[in-house]
Structure 1
Amino acid sequence: MPATSKAQQKAAGAALAAKRGEQKVSELKGASKSMYDSMSEKELEDMASTPRHGKPEHKEDE
């Protein structure tokens, strides 16, 4: 599942770093904390590796 915004991609990257032990889980907040709890390492990797070009900073609510 690709990221739909730069903010979502950054949150996935932070959660992925915590899953891999590169960052403390206690440092996660908000979306990255919930992603850490609910997504697998593979799902986070897919979301964090989405190209940023052309993505909005934040996703627009519909």
Structure 2
Amino acid sequence: MPAKSKAQQKAAGAALAAKRGEIKKSELKGASKSMEKSMSAGELKELASTKRKGKPEHASKSD
């Protein structure tokens, strides 16, 4: 499942870094914190590796 926005992609990247131990889990906030707890490393990698071209900064609420 590709990321729907740049913000979602950034959050997934931060969560993946925490899951790998590259940053402290206590540094996570908001969406990245819940993503780290609820998603596998593979799912996070897939979201974080989505191409950014053409993505909005934030996804609309209706998506």
**Structure 1: which 5+ runs fail to align?**
none
Q: SS of the counterpart of 1:10?
A: helix
Other-structure match for 1:2: 2
TM score, norm. by length of structure 2: 0.97
**Structure 2: which 5+ runs fail to align?**
none
Question: How far apart are 1:19 and its partner, in Å?
Answer: 0.4
Other-structure match for 1:43: 43
Other-structure match for 1:23: 23
User: 1 CA distance for matches of 2:31 and 2:60?
Assistant: 16
RMSD: 0.4
Q: SS of the counterpart of 1:35?
A: helix
Structure 1 moving runs of 4+ over 4 Å: none
Alignment length, in residue pairs? 62
Identity over aligned pairs, percent: 74
